[in-house]
A and B are shown apart, each in its own frame.
Chain A
């Protein structure tokens, strides 16, 4: 069974940093692209970053470019999102999501499955 378990969320002050982790199991991690999708309270879904299986190509939404860095350690089956210069508008549940297509050269096709999410709150 595929499992994705996010961790690292919490309360952080504006301008602060946080690193999210997503521990994956139940599939050959390094052969699938992975993404971080966030959902602000009461709002819709927003993919902020994605990375290919090998880690050689990444995608960032304009809203986080230059502030967030996605990475992965295929030896540890773990996905990361390093977040700097956090703003109030970054407050959201952050989901880790696995791409559905194995060996894809793209960052994303469709997401299946998703983790349970971790809440990031940016507030003073």
Chain B
């Protein structure tokens, strides 16, 4: 089975910081990689699909890159509403990374 490993598991950052989260697959998954944001007590919401496509309605400060085994989610300038937990997900079969909690420094 394909394993998805996210790093770091948590990070502290300030408003305006550039934040990068990585996701590594245990074998090549082409571009079948998606990113979600989850706020406390809420269901996750998709940010990025197919590695680099921005979901409609998601601010352009979010971007995704990568293919094969290594992927990155970047927030170009962290905003107060971005403090949340982020998950990567491989499509087939549906497998999630362990999550990255972004906290206020």
In contact, B49 and A45 (Cβ under 8 angstroms): no
Q: Which of A69-77, A83-91, A114-122 touches B? A: A114-122
In contact, B34 and A110 (Cβ under 8 angstroms): yes
| Chain B interface, >50% SS class | loop
Q: Knowing A106-B92, A107-B94, A112-B55 touch, does A100 contact B44 (C-beta < 8 A)?
A: no
Q: Knowing A106-B91, A110-B49 touch, does A45 contact B44 (C-beta < 8 A)?
A: yes
In contact, A109 and B91 (Cβ under 8 angstroms): yes
Among B43, B46, B50, B95, max chain A CB count under 10 A is at: B43
In contact, A108 and B93 (Cβ under 8 angstroms): yes
B96 close to chain A: CB less than 8 A: yes
- Bound CA–CA A108/B93 (angstroms): 7
A18 close to chain B: CB less than 8 A: no
6 interchain pairs, CB-CB under 8 A: A37-B94, A45-B38, A45-B44, A46-B96, A62-B1, A95-B43
